[in-house]
Amino acid sequence: MKRICSILLLTTLSAASSVAQTAGYKAQISQLDKNIYTVFYDKPTGLYLETNNVAENKGQHSYLWPLTALLQAANEQESLAPGKQHIAQVMKAINQYYSGRAPAPGYQAMVVKEKADTRFYDDNEWIAIALMDAYNRTHNQQYLETSKLIYRFLLTGYDEATGGGFYWEEGNLKSKNTCSNGPAILVALRLYQATKQQNYLDTAIKVYSWTKRNLLSPTGVYFDNIRVPSLKIDSALYTYNAGTMMQSAVLLYNITRNNAYLTDAINLANASEKQFYRNGKLPDNYWFNAVLLRGYLELYKVDKNKQRLQFFINDANRIWKEEKDDRGFVGRKSVKTLIDQSAMLEIYARLQELQLEK
């Protein structure tokens, strides 16, 4: 009897998932976009707010990081509807974070006119990744030039301490993180694909090897960082670190046709689902998970194993059912954040595009 009930439950859940997939994600995309521009967008300044809570925001506009998430979501929206313009509005805000100070121009963590602030290499990398995705669609030369500028800034954060690798924060020589090296590889690879300049590919291969050698964990996913100069490993495991390294491995395979990279990607995909998808859900950080999804989708383009994506689809459907409030905001906490709305906007847009595949 228990076996029959279990079969019926699985059938019901599968049917519910199929209905959600058939219906698509247009409603989710529309609701999240509306909420962002109703609540988080500060029209007079062209900037965005970090949360929907005035006290939490402390009179400041958002840090750059959530805007990088919104920029990627904007690209996915344009992919679904090429006639619509979403990127320009977000870049208008991001440009207000631009700092031309030495040793190379880049984007700082806070709005320049509001505060002189530090610059994070990964913040800059997320911008370049989104812009290179957009460049591949549109061939807009400005996207390419901004990404080249960011790459030049990244090089100021590289040295041979610990054998190579990029630091996480400008001027902070205490750690080299997977979250600054994985996306750096992606920036270099996208620039190589666009320009065929060998130096970009050389950087990508070198940094990929360094990251794998120093930060791949025994469980098959990636540790967070290595401390400098002690070489102590921060053993925290995050979905986005797996995502960037998985996507990097697939792109390296596509470029070099070296099967070792494809094997790396498949092994990392298998390990990531085992590590992170527990009790029918992914960890709470939506944006980290959005970056992980990018890796799986890059692998899917090669092996066409759609079943590998099913747990993402299940989790996205669960979030809309269980972690959305009556106003259409996602997030488990009462205060809603721009990065959460942007991350789920990206995820639903990517899943919608996947569903529309012929």
Report pLDDT for 19. 40
- Round to whole Å and give the CA distance between 349 and 356: 11
pLDDT digits (tens, 9 = 90+) for 248-269: 999 999 999 999 999 999 999 9
The three-point CA angle 333-19-270 to 5° equals 70
Report pLDDT for 358. 59
Tell me: pLDDT of 147 over 60: yes
pLDDT digits (tens, 9 = 90+) for 207-216: 999 999 999 9
Tell me: pLDDT of 116 over 80: yes
Question: Do 71 and 85 contact (CB within 8 A), yes or no?
Answer: no
Tell me: pLDDT of 9 over 50: no
Question: Beta strand pairing status for 172-177 and 167-169?
Answer: antiparallel
Looking at the whole model, is its pTM more than 0.85? Answer: yes
> What would the two tokens of residue 171 be?
């001027």
Give the position of tokens 């694909």: 193
Question: What average pLDDT does this structure show over 78-103?
Answer: 96
pLDDT digits (tens, 9 = 90+) for 153-207: 999 999 999 999 999 999 999 999 999 999 999 999 999 999 999 999 999 999 9
In a 10 Å sphere around its CB, with 0-12 CB exposed, 13-18 middle and 19+ buried, how is residue 323 labelled? middle
Confidence of residue 356 (pLDDT cuts 50, 70, 90): confident
Confidence of residue 23 (pLDDT cuts 50, 70, 90): low
How high does pLDDT run on average in the chain?
94
> What would the two tokens of residue 242 be?
């797996």
Report pLDDT for 357. 83
- Round to whole Å and give the CA distance between 334 and 53: 9
Q: How many CA atoms lie within 13 A of 194 on its CB side?
A: 26
Which domains, and CATH codes, for the chain? Answer: 46-355 (1.50.10.20)
